[in-house]
Structure 1
Amino acid sequence: MSSSILPPPYTPHRTFLFPRRAASNQSPAAYPAGYFPGGLFAKYANDGYEKRNRSLSLRSKKGPTSDGSSGRRFGFGSMRASTQPELSKKLYRLIKSENHVVSNYTNAGREQISIASQLSDWGLSTNDDAISDISDKIGVMLSELGELEITYAQNLEDFRTVLKSIRNVEASVQPSRDKRAKITDEIQRLKYREPQSPKLVLLEQELVRAEAENLVAEAQLSNVTRQKMKEAYAAHFAAIVERSQKQEILAKHSRRLLGLLDDTPVVPGDARPTFDLDRDARQILADAEEDLRNWTLELEEVPTNSHLDANAMPSSVASSGGAATSPVLETRPPGQQVNLAGTEDLETEPKPELIV
């Protein structure tokens, strides 16, 4: 019977903290790449936005660079990657790169919160009641957007944790591949040098056992890879939907705040009308808070037929005794939430354990 991987429950959004001006010693964040200040849609005016990559594959068809190098720089990260088993090197690098993405989103969220505080302080210094009140309320909205970035980074960390389980299985399968290759090479060497050696019979028997062990390990790897990839990216895209929908809520209410600011020009000597829409501004904040509180994540289910036992084998096969003993793998039942508590660090090399 087919079941489904439900997306993780949405992140409960904290209630608004009413505007509180605080001095900030941090410098404003730099504009992101491709952004040109000067208007709401000005960042889309550059030519690079129109020239999108329409390639059907991200796999590069180009060889080394003109100077013969691969374009990769050596560092501690590359040194740690070189110590990984060959089978898990690519996923190791992917997980490491995702760690940089998590850090960047976290830093972007903190910078956004800092900018929100600076906007509020600037509005207060203008001595204009309307600008002071509206900038303060917009600062609250921008601060909430910064919190969304930090929450999204935390969700990406959960996504990385699921990918680590695939990496660990890949690392545990590598020794069985190496063992089989080593025995095969030894048999070929003896057949060439000592065709009548009695050791050949023992090696061939050992090769049969190694091939049986590797066959089970490869099946485990295939099962875990498919299940965990589906689980990881279902959570990844659910986090993207949550972030984007909450950003939309905050952005729409922020535009309502801008509508309260009267930008009618005045001539020298005329006084602007007194700003008396502070209650309306507070109501907009309350509306945004209420919309976030009532928000729910609604997504189509991702179907799955994966039902694995503790050895990453189909439950029905394991119960009938058809599964052979193989590398010990720790797997979670389908649908169980990822818990980061006690998770080993990315650089920790997994220790393969084989039971023959």
Structure 2
Amino acid sequence: MHRTYSMRQSRAPTASQIETPPPPSSSTKHGRLFGRSNFGHNFRSKAAGAFGPDLAKKLTQLVKMEKNVMRTMELVGRERMEVAQQLSLWGEGCDDDVSDVTDKLGVLIYEIGELEDQFVDRYDQYRVTIKSIRNIEASVQPSRDRKQKITDQIAQLKYKDPNSPRIVVLEQELVRAEAESLVAEAQLSNITREKLKAAFTYQFDALREHCEKMAIIAGFGSHLLELVDDTPVTPGESRPAYDGYEASKAIIQDCEDALTNWVQSKATVKASLSTRARTLSQRRKNKMGNGEGHDLSQQDNAMPGERDSWVPASQHGEYENEDEDEDDEEMESSRGRESTSFNKEATTA
């Protein structure tokens, strides 16, 4: 038997990791307030958006929901690893060919679990980038509130005391507030577009790598199944002695080599646009003028500067303590609806 054989005897960096350094570990893998239960998932979904500025509430809910998605994927990866080990244990008591093949299948399934764990780390880069948009939205809200507050004060004074000298002062403050708000809104618009494209580039690149590697493992798993002799036998008849140990080991080695050498530039699956889509894309590009439009025909290419390296979470602004703040919010919310209502009333006052 070859029970000691595993997919990776040494964890040398793969070609994909050399081409694109892996991201830091996902923020969902530590600092959990409610552990791994469904209670935490349900609570986050319902409480999302209950805190913070109104402008950022919808995106806050999206970020919370993505955290649930990531923790679910993390759980699936762990469960898959346990399934792989159990499959190998079950095969020990079977015939030689079934025992050897199930052991090697367990190796492949365990590798799938590890790929899913790596995918969570890459997926977190998408979530962190979306989070940075939310932070900008939250920073813009005060300028909106200040402008609205001054506008309300002017309207109130004009109604109560149209000749009040304070109206002139407030109108000057309103001009300054509108200028500040204009700058903040422009910054929000620019950063939203930049970060949205970057975020989903992270997600789609991670999905492409994950799915292609899964397809590689599935293909070699099919080759392993060919080593199982499924020819029916009559009672009392014995099967030929199994001699596929070296073959199964070679298949596993080939699978490891395929996974190690996979790079984004050699991805098999390509998204090809139809003639109509290319025509519409080119038309839009021409309308933009100067050849600087968004040409969808080049959508398979990586965004300039986005695939050079994974961005550390600390570079996304207000992120380092973000999850701790969210857990603090969850803890405060768990104290009951009465304290939440009290806090809202106090804030309004």
TM-score (norm 2): 0.68
For 1:261 and 1:141, locate their aligned partners in 2 and report how far apart those are by CA, in whole Å. 16
Mark the CA change 1:232 to 1:336 in structure 2 (over 3 Å): closer, same or farther.
Answer: same
Matched with 1:338 is 311
Which residue is 2:87 aligned to?
A: 119
The residue aligned with 2:301 is 301
Counterpart contact for 2:48–2:61, Cα < 8 Å: no
1:171-190 matches, cutoff 5 A:
171-190=138-157
Q: CA deviation at 1:81?
A: 2.2
Conservation of the 8 A alpha-carbon contact between 1:161 and 1:338: no
Give the distance between the partners of 2:180 and 2:324, measured in 1 at CA. 27
Kept in 2, the 8 Å contact 1:8–1:235? The answer is: no
Deviation at 1:338, TM superposition (A): 1.6
CA distance in 2, matches of 1:75, 1:141: 35
- Note if 1:243 corresponds to 2:210: yes
| One of 91, 96, 103 as aligned partner of 2:64 | 96
Instruction: Please identify which structure carries the higher helix content.
Output: 2
For 1:74 and 1:185, the matched residues in 2 are separated by 39
Give the whole-Å Cα distance in 1 for the aligned partners of 2:152 and 2:191: 30
Question: How much has 1:11 moved relative to structure 2?
Answer: 6.5
Shift of 1:125: 1.8
CA RMSD, 1 decimal: 2.5
- Check 1:265–1:75 CA distance in 2 against 1; reply closer, same or farther (3 A cut): closer
SS where residue 64 of structure 2 aligns?
helix
Alignment match, 1:106: 74
The amino acid of 1:340's aligned partner reads A
The CA distance in 1 between the partners of 2:20 and 2:303, in whole Å, is 19
Q: Distance in 1 between matches of 2:18 and 2:126?
A: 11
Alpha-carbon separation, structure 2, partners of 1:11 and 1:178: 42
CA contact (8 A) 1:8 1:337 kept: no
Separation in structure 2 between the aligned mates of residue 130 and residue 338 of structure 1, nearest angstrom: 47
One-letter code aligned to 1:121? L
- Matched residues in 1 for 2:303 and 2:248: separation? 45
Which among 217, 225, 235 is matched to residue 192 of structure 2?
Answer: 225
Q: What SS does the aligned partner of 1:240 have?
A: helix
> How many pairs align?
255
Q: Give the residue type in structure 2 aligned to 1:344.
A: N
Contact 2:21–2:310, Cα closer than 8 Å, also in 1: no
- Identity within the alignment, %: 44
Structure 2 residue aligned with 1:86: 54
Question: In the aligned structure 2, how far is the partner of 1:142 from the partner of 1:334?
Answer: 29
Q: Deviations over 1:205-263 (max 9, x none)?
A: 00000000000000010011000000000010000000010001100000000001111
- Helix, strand or coil: the match of 2:312? coil
Judging changes above 3 Å, is the alpha-carbon distance between structure 1 residues 252 and 335 closer, same or farther for their aligned structure 2 residues?
A: closer
Partner AA of 2:313 in structure 1: L
Whether the 8 Å CA contact 2:21–2:309 is kept in 1: the answer is no
In structure 2, distance between residues paired with 1:295 and 1:339? 24
Once superposed, which parts of structure 1, at least 4 consecutive aligned residues long, lie more than 2 Å away?
7-12, 73-81, 298-304, 333-337, 340-349
Tell me the alpha carbon deviations over residues 147-177 of structure 1, each in whole angstroms, 9 at most, x when there is no partner: 1111111111111111111000000000000
Match of residue 27 from structure 2: none
Mapped partners of 1:213, 1:9: distance in 2: 42
Who is 2:110 aligned against? 143
Cα separation, partners in 2 of 1:347 and 1:177, compared to 1, 3 Å: farther
Q: Gaps spanning 5+ residues in structure 2: where?
A: 1-16, 23-40, 268-299, 327-349
Instruction: Tell me if structure 2 keeps the 8 A contact 1:160–1:232.
Output: yes
